[in-house]
Amino acid sequence: MLPYCAEDLAVAYAVTNGIPHYLSLFDPKAPLKRNLERLFSKWGPLYEEAENLLRFEVREPHVYLNIVRAIDEGATTYSEIAQRAHIPAQTLAKYLSVLERLEVVRREAPLWGRARPIYLISDLYIRFWIRAVYRNRELVELGGFVNIDIDRYMQGAYEEIVRRALPRLSERGLVRAAGICGRYWEGDVEIDLACLGDGEFAAFEIKWADLTVDDAERALRTLKKKSGYREGNYYVVARRALGEKPKWLLDLGDIFETSLCKT
């Protein structure tokens, strides 16, 4: 739908959740940044879309948006969300249940181990909207556009993009990943993405960064250590791989099946 290079396609996907209607609002002749400024400005078509979506579904959209904002700001456990969103813990469950049904957030337990489950924002459009609009409503109302740190936003969004791309990557023979896929964390150890099932194990280190082969090899060694050197398939996914790529190193060109941006 858009004639962008891979990095810009990733950002376009990450601010729209890949929804075709939202992508159709982009002007394909305009640069990515200009499209973002237009779409999320006070007069842009995506400025009030998140609130409108919730108004059709719930009676108290501001309560739900405060919950989503709390999660985006780092409150991921039940008690943390209740405290930061200023909602009684005994009533939070019904709100989270609705947000899960609407696929705005999801409750995620570690793929193995006994760490406490957490809540994540799974709708990438709403995640971006919270940062670009909801947190900065006064500035946007005055006609401004908040230039949020796209690279910082994309680190988390890229993990979600890779997770969604796994079936296609597997189908094309670029990775071997089967079964149940998700994150793992325990104490200070965290794995961005792993898959268990059909007697196979796969783990992924995902970095929104340009990596040399040496950088990627260091990340790969760390990933194997965090996985307890479990037998399986290990991959590093970079924004851009610099130099000749080994088979275990992927980047945006592999995910979006198009060329990387010119530097």
Residue 109 confidence (pLDDT): 95
Which residue ranges make up each domain of the chain?
A: 6-148, 157-256
119-141: pLDDT as tens digits: 999 999 999 999 989 888 877 77
Residue 112 confidence (pLDDT): 92
Residue 94 confidence (pLDDT): 94
pTM: 0.93
- Span 6-148: which CATH code? 1.10.10.10
Count of other CB atoms within 10 angstroms of residue 177 = 24
Regions in the chain scoring below 70 on pLDDT: 144-146
User: How far is CA 172 from each of CA 130, 176, 250, rounded to the nearest angstrom?
Assistant: 35, 10, 13
In this structure, which CATH number among 3.40.1350, 3.30.420, 3.10.450, 3.40.50 belongs to the domain 157-256? 3.40.1350
The closest of 239, 47, 34, 81 to 153, measured between CA atoms, is: 239
